[in-house]
């Protein structure tokens, strides 16, 4: 994905993760354009299994490039209900389409109000510039 | 200026001027004064090359090596014939003097050797993934333990008493650190006690450790023993002797998740125990948990075939505290020696060598068993090493043989008190039928002598008197003996 | 690149030895068994036997020699040119050492030989222990660890045993953010948690941060692991205070000896307050690096750590009856952490390193360190001139010890050249690049360690090459960004090698 891009319909965590709220208590998580760009070409994604519980601000997965490993931080807490299995064979989707086919997990949120602490697209971009 | 540095007085003056200091001492001013040594080390002055050679040759001459003694000692390291091309190739500057191939464009030679080596070890063990080498055998066993904890999240190891005592002890040492409990399973008739093993393995077991041939030389039925591990989701880790894998069924075909071992028999000298290398092969599932370097095939920007270090994110220089292991070496030169030796033996030579070992070992075993006062310690099948019981103190028999120029074997009593009378005898392609006959005669003579004269005293030979031609004077008078604090 | 600019090595497609194999060829001729040729199945049950021989290559000796000679020419090596790889001490490997290591009394000595018939080997090990002890300023040495990382693990297990003996169980090990990756990896393997300590503006340990990390829970501090000079090539001037802080908290102080080449005969880790030191015999003591091993990582320790040293330990025993001393392997060490490996250690490495120490002697070792420091500072001064001084400033402006770290941050910003590009272009100039992207603390880091065995001329040539590359990049940065051009292969696709790893040759029948 060539150019920086931060969709307005997502919420952002300052550790370069995004959340897309679905309904009252579900969300999809992934990493931002900035995160995948800093990491370089993703060669491996080591994600959690469905059913795992994840905690806001804690690591729940790892993404690897050839010479770096990055923890993926949960923007919100909850239980994993679906994982993106296609990343096992095609981790490059995280680079190619970080907000679409490169999504990581779908989560049933345990505290939907945590959304209030996340950043809007403009705020996140301001953070990146500073 | 020493012989290995080149800076002349003029060079020094120019360099100091460029740096902008008066003397090199100023550069050391960052070391607080009280911490500067301020004197010469209490180490003797340097010697000429000829003197150093003589000094070390004098030390070397006080060792009874496999050239001056006929060596039937094995126990993990073996006196194989290392072909001349191994030395010729491993001594080339281009292999001897580079470091880890961090810059693949100028390290294709070393990387391709790793790739070829991985292919060979993978083929020998019957497992799809091999690394490029670890330090040596026993610490590879301990590294497999660390992998097993990571893979299973369990912390109990079930270990056969047939696993090399050094490996078991090293595993125990490492386990104090990464935190694991070890349950040992005994031997019956030279082989791992299958019922005891099955009883010891449960849902808390991270891994089952076997060795085949085991320390007593017996070929284990790895597949049958490993069933317990499979049943409880534990990893099956099998230590093996690479020189037997031309004839013995590879661990990968017997259900092993990891096959590893001491690589010395392949292309490496005895060197009083090292350096050598450990090999480490695993199932595809474990590839991202493997310790050590792994070379992988790829292409350059122009589409040319090339090799790089693959899967580096496992390693300490990237993953740091989360690395799969702390190792930072591949024992690359030792692995090269192994690869050249394997290529030299070739597909059929390797098999033939294995057959030769099995047949000569069978002969030696039969020959020794026929000696009065010698009986087999076990009757299990063996490949290249076997154990006997002696009806005389083992130390005395070894001494008697040593005086006749034969290193008769490895005494078992130190590590297996239950086999106080046990001797482990190893055979290589260098051990001829005549030498085996001499060994049998020497052991027979020692036992007969023991019974004839009551008991003769072991250890009558003084240290340093191993070779008649050597005078201890040169070493005793040397300045280093008293010069070091 | 077009075929016209290809080097002969590039035109030739890499072939593995398996691809040169042809059924019916062979090199080895084995001796006759000389014993009855019994069928294998009579000796070993058929279900324990291999059905087909492993698919090793079938190839005659001349082609094996050519194959590996050809591969060797696809390597750059220290004997061909400057190899200023920071933290790796790529100094000359004397050939004398190879000769003495190959003597049959060393090379063909079985490790289980009865000690009384291995007196020369044990004495050599003892003498090496004495020398290393004096160099480190610590009274006891174990030669057993196989490498620096193995020494680190040993040091941490010793720390654990030492505390356990005092009835303590501590959980945290401190390490600076500039530490080698092996340090934190060893900490985890030894069952501890790593706590990072920050670096101050002079490149040393940030003392306030250290005090704060200790103060969080002094009783949990097991150890501080430090390299001194550190990975920035700078001596930590606060070392005495650091040592007393750690010792007051009850922890041990561990010295990563990767950089000992700066201080041999100049300053001793034991005198600095370290309890445990590992030495890399393949760095400071001239064991060839072998393309990544073998090496050895002996440890030196203080009296309080000694009871826990690995076993066996080489000891010297005085004679009861007026004869000379003898040497032995001591196994009876009840408080020992146990073995770290098989047998006694990498003896062949000990022979080479002992030969090196005998050759140089006390003054030669001190001179080696002094020249290493002189060479590094000279090269640093040369690189502070001209464009390099502007585009590649040194990360911490003070005299360095045996190595120094440059930052390519401005080069990247102003010229669009990453440190990696500079490194790759250096290959075309016939130099091995410095260590790149380490330590992590410095942006676009280049870590340069020339060692004492380089001439002033080779340092000048290296500085000139960097200047040329920067001049060239001002007019066309693409030259470096596409480099190298003259090597057997050009930039390789590492992504592919890791995404879909091919780690063995597929073999047919």
Phi and psi, residue C136, nearest 5°? -85, -20
Taking residue C500's Cβ as centre, other Cβ atoms within 10 Å add up to: 12
Please tell me the predicted confidence (pLDDT) of residue B485.
Answer: 33
Signed CA dihedral, B372, B374, B380, B386: sign only? negative
Pick the residue from chain A with its C-alpha nearest to C498.
A43
Same topology for domains B70-80+348-452 and B85-340, yes or no? no
Q: Length of chain B in residues, anyone?
A: 485
Query: Is B136:B316 a contact under the CB 8 Å cutoff?
Result: no
Alpha helices in B180-291 (DSSP H): 194-200, 222-231
Please, is A108 exposed, middle or buried when counting C-beta atoms within 10 Å of its C-beta (0-12, 13-18, 19+)?
Answer: middle
Name the minimum distance, in Å, from the CA of C214 to any CA of chain B: 20
CB contact under 8 A, B319 and A66: no
Spans in chain A with pLDDT lower than 50: none
Q: How far apart are CA C435 and CA A49, in angstroms?
A: 38
Q: Give me the DSSP letters along B345-365.
A: HHHHHHHHHHHHHHHHHHHHH
pLDDT at C7 over 70: yes
Q: Give me the DSSP letters along C16-76.
A: -GGGG--TT-----PPP--S----HHHHS-GGGB-SS--------HHHHHHHHHHHHTTB-
Query: Is B108:C309 a contact under the CB 8 Å cutoff?
Result: no
With a CB cutoff of 8 Å and minimum separation 6, the contacts of C52 are: none
**What stretch of H or E contains C423?**
helix C419-428
Q: Is A89 on the interface with C (CB under 8 A)?
A: no
pLDDT at C340 over 80: yes
Q: Is B167 on the interface with C (CB under 8 A)?
A: yes
Segment C274-280 shows an average pLDDT of: 98
Look at residues C369, C384, C386, C355 and name the one whose alpha carbon lies nearest to residue C471: C386
**CB-side neighbour CA atoms (13 Å) of C117:** 27
Query: Can you give the three-state secondary structure of C267-285, one letter per residue?
Result: ECHHHHCCCEEEECCCCCC
Name the token pair of B394.
Answer: 């083992």
CB contact under 8 A, B312 and A69: no
Name the token pair of A61.
Answer: 């997965």
pLDDT at B465 over 50: no
Over residues B93-133, the pLDDT tens digits come to 999 999 999 999 999 999 999 999 999 999 999 999 999 99
Q: How far apart are CA C509 and CA C52, in angstroms?
A: 10
Please tell me the predicted confidence (pLDDT) of residue C52.
Answer: 95
pLDDT at B264 over 60: yes
Residue pairs spanning A and C at CB distance below 8 A: 15
Taking residue C430's Cβ as centre, other Cβ atoms within 10 Å add up to: 15
Q: How far apart are CA C256 and CA C243, in angstroms?
A: 14
Pairing of the two strands B258-262 and B235-240:
parallel
Q: How far apart are CA B7 and CA A51, in angstroms?
A: 67
Name the minimum distance, in Å, from the CA of B273 to any CA of chain C: 5
Please tell me the predicted confidence (pLDDT) of residue C9.
Answer: 79
Name the token pair of A88.
Answer: 């096992």
Please tell me the predicted confidence (pLDDT) of residue C351.
Answer: 98
pLDDT at B344 over 50: yes
- CB nearest to B318's CB, from A44, A46, A68: A68
Pick the residue from chain C with its C-alpha nearest to A63.
C499
The chain-wide mean pLDDT, for chain A, equals 93
CB contact under 8 A, B45 and C293: no
Phi and psi, residue C197, nearest 5°? -115, 140
What CATH architecture is A12-114?
A: Beta Barrel (2.40)
Q: How far apart are CA C353 and CA C349, in angstroms?
A: 6
CB contact under 8 A, A43 and C495: yes
Unique residue bearing structure tokens 């060539």: A2
Q: Does domain B70-80+348-452 fall into CATH 3.30.470.20?
A: no
Query: Is B259:B281 a contact under the CB 8 Å cutoff?
Result: yes
> Mutate which of B27, B43, B417 to test chain C, going by most C C-beta atoms within 10 A?
B43
Name the minimum distance, in Å, from the CA of B192 to any CA of chain A: 38
What CATH class is the domain C362-495?
alpha beta
Q: How far apart are CA C395 and CA B372, in angstroms?
A: 76
Provide the terminal-to-terminal Cα distance of chain A, rounded to the nearest Å: 23
Segment B351-379 shows an average pLDDT of: 98
- CB nearest to C293's CB, from B64, B246, B332: B332
Query: Is B483:B43 a contact under the CB 8 Å cutoff?
Result: yes
Pairing of the two strands B129-130 and A78-83:
unpaired
What CATH architecture is B85-340?
A: 3-Layer(aba) Sandwich (3.40)
pLDDT at B468 over 60: no
Q: Which of A86-90, B181-185, B352-356, B427-431 has the lowest mean pLDDT?
A: A86-90
Give the domain ranges of chain B: 9-60, 70-80+348-452, 85-340
Taking an 8 Å Cβ-Cβ cutoff, which residues of chain B contact chain A?
288, 312-313, 318-319, 322
CB-CB neighbors (< 8 A) of B312 in chain A: 66-67
Query: Is A62:A71 a contact under the CB 8 Å cutoff?
Result: yes
Share of chain C above pLDDT 70, in %: 99
Segment B454-473 shows an average pLDDT of: 42
The chain-wide mean pLDDT, for chain C, equals 96
Please tell me the predicted confidence (pLDDT) of residue B455.
Answer: 55
Query: Can you give the three-state secondary structure of B185-203, one letter per residue?
Result: ECEECCEECHHHHHHHCCC
Query: Which pLDDT band, with edges at 50, 70 and 90, does B474 fall under?
Result: very low
Taking residue C77's Cβ as centre, other Cβ atoms within 10 Å add up to: 26
Query: Which pLDDT band, with edges at 50, 70 and 90, does B363 fall under?
Result: very high
Give the domain ranges of chain A: 12-114
Q: Taking a contact as any Cβ pair under 8 Å apart, which residues of chain C between 395 and 454 contact chain B?
A: 398-399, 401, 423-424, 427, 432-433, 435, 438, 452-454
Name the token pair of C368.
Answer: 């080696």
Q: How far apart are CA B50 and CA B53, in angstroms?
A: 5
Please tell me the predicted confidence (pLDDT) of residue C320.
Answer: 83
Pick the residue from chain C with its C-alpha nearest to B406.
C113
């Amino acid at each position: 994905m060539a150019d920086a891009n931060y969709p307005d319909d997502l919420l952002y965590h300052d550790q370069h993760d995004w959340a897309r709220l679905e309904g009252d208590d579900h969300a999809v998580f992934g990493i931002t354009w900035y995160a995948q760009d800093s990491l370089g070409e993703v060669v491996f994604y080591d994600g959690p299994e469905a059913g795992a519980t994840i905690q806001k601000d804690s690591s729940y997965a790892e993404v690897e490039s050839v010479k770096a490993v990055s923890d993926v931080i949960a923007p919100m807490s909850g239980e994993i209900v679906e994982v993106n299995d296609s990343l096992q064979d095609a981790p490059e989707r995280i680079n190619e389409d970080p907000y679409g086919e490169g999504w990581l997990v779908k989560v049933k949120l345990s505290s939907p109000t945590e959304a209030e602490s996340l950043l809007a697209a403009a705020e996140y971009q301001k953070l990146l510039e500073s | 200026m020493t012989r290995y540095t080149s800076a002349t007085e003029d060079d020094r003056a120019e360099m100091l001027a460029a740096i902008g200091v008066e003397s090199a001492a100023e550069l050391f001013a960052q070391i607080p004064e009280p911490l500067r040594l301020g004197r010469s080390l209490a180490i003797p002055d340097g010697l000429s090359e000829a003197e150093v050679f003589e000094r070390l040759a004098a030390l070397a001459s006080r060792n009874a090596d496999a050239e001056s003694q006929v060596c039937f000692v094995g126990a993990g390291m073996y006196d194989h014939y290392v072909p001349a091309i191994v030395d010729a190739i491993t001594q080339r500057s281009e292999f001897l003097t580079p470091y880890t191939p961090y810059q693949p464009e100028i390290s294709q030679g070393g990387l391709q050797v790793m790739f070829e080596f991985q292919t060979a070890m993978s083929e020998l063990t019957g497992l799809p993934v091999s690394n490029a080498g670890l330090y040596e055998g026993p610490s590879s066993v301990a590294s497999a333990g660390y992998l097993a904890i990571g893979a299973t999240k369990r912390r109990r190891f079930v270990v056969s008493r047939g696993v090399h005592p050094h490996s078991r002890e090293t595993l125990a040492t490492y386990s104090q650190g990464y935190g694991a409990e070890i349950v040992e399973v005994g031997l019956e008739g030279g082989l791992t006690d299958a019922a005891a093993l099955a009883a010891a393995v449960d849902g808390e077991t991270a891994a089952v450790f076997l060795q085949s041939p085991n320390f007593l030389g017996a070929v284990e039925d790895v597949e049958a023993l490993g069933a317990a591990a499979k049943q409880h989701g534990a990893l099956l880790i099998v230590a093996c002797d690479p020189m037997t894998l031309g004839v013995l069924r590879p661990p990968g075909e017997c259900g092993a998740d990891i096959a590893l071992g001491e690589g010395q028999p392949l292309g490496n000298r005895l060197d009083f125990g090292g350096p050598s290398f450990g090999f480490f092969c695993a199932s595809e599932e474990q590839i991202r948990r493997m310790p050590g370097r792994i070379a992988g095939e790829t292409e350059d920007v122009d589409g040319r075939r090339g090799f790089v270090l693959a899967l580096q994110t496992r390693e300490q220089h990237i993953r740091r505290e989360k690395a799969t292991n702390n190792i930072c070496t591949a024992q690359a030169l030792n692995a090269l020696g192994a690869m050249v030796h394997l290529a030299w033996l070739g597909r059929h030579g390797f098999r033939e060598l294995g057959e030769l070992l099995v047949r000569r070992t069978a002969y030696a075993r039969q020959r020794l068993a026929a000696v009065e006062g010698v009986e087999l310690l076990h009757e299990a099948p063996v490949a290249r090493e076997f154990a006997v019981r002696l009806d005389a103190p083992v130390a005395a028999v070894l001494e008697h043989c040593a005086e006749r120029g034969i290193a008769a074997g490895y005494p078992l009593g130190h590590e297996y008190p239950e086999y106080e009378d046990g001797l482990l005898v190893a055979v290589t392609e260098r051990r001829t039928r005549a030498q085996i006959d001499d060994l049998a005669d020497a052991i027979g003579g020692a036992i007969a002598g023991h019974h004839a004269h009551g008991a003769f005293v072991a250890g009558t030979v003084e240290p340093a008197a191993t070779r008649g031609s050597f005078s201890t004077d040169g070493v005793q008078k040397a300045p280093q003996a008293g010069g070091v604090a | 690149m077009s075929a016209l600019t290809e080097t002969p090595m590039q035109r030739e497609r890499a072939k593995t030895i398996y691809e040169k194999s042809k059924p019916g060829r062979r090199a080895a001729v084995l001796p006759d068994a000389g014993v009855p040729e019994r069928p294998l199945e009579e000796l070993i049950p058929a279900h324990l036997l291999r059905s087909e021989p492993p698919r090793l290559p079938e190839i005659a000796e001349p082609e094996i020699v050519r194959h590996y000679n050809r591969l060797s020419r696809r390597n750059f090596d220290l004997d061909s040119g400057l190899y200023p790889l920071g933290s790796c001490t790529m100094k000359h490997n004397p050939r004398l050492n190879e000769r003495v290591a190959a003597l049959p009394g060393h090379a063909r000595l079985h490790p289980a030989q009865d000690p009384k018939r291995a007196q020369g080997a044990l004495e050599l090990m003892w003498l090496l222990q004495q020398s290393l002890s004096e160099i480190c300023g610590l009274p006891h040495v174990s030669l057993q660890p196989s490498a620096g990382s193995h020494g680190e693990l040993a040091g941490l297990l010793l720390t654990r045993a030492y505390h356990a003996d005092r009835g303590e169980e501590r959980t945290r090990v401190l390490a600076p953010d500039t530490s080698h990756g092996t340090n934190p990896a060893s900490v985890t393997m030894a069952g501890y948690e790593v706590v990072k300590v920050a670096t101050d503006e002079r490149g040393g340990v940030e003392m306030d941060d250290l005090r704060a990390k200790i103060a969080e829970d002094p009783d949990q501090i097991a150890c501080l692991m430090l390299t001194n000079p550190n990975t920035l090539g700078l001596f930590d001037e606060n070392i005495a205070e650091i040592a007393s802080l750690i010792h007051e908290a009850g922890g041990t102080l561990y010295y990563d000896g990767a950089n000992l080449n700066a201080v041999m005969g100049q300053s001793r880790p034991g005198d600095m307050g370290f309890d445990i030191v590992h030495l890399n015999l393949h760095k400071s003591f001239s064991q060839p690096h072998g393309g990544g091993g073998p090496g050895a990582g002996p440890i030196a320790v203080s009296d309080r750590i000694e009871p826990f040293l690995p076993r066996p330990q080489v000891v010297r025993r005085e004679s009861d009856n007026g004869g000379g001393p003898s040497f032995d392997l001591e196994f009876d060490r009840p408080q020992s952490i146990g073995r770290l490996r098989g047998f006694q250690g990498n003896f062949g490495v000990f022979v080479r390193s002992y030969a090196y120490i005998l050759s140089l002697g006390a003054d030669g070792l001190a001179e080696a360190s002094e020249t290493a420091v002189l060479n590094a500072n000279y090269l640093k001064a040369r690189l502070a001139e001209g464009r390099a001084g502007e585009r590649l400033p040194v990360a911490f402006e003070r005299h360095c010890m045996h190595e120094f770290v440059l930052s390519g941050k401005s080069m990247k910003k102003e010229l669009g050249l990453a440190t990696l590009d500079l490194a790759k272009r250096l290959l075309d100039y016939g130099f091995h690049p410095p260590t790149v992207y380490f330590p992590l603390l410095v942006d676009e880091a280049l870590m340069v360690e020339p060692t004492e065995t380089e001439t002033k001329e080779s340092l000048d040539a290296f500085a000139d090459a960097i200047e040329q590359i920067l001049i060239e990049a001002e007019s066309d940065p693409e030259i470096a960004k596409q480099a190298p051009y003259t090597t057997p292969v050009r930039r390789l696709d590492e992504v592919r090698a890791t995404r879909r790893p091919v780690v063995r040759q597929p073999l047919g029948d």
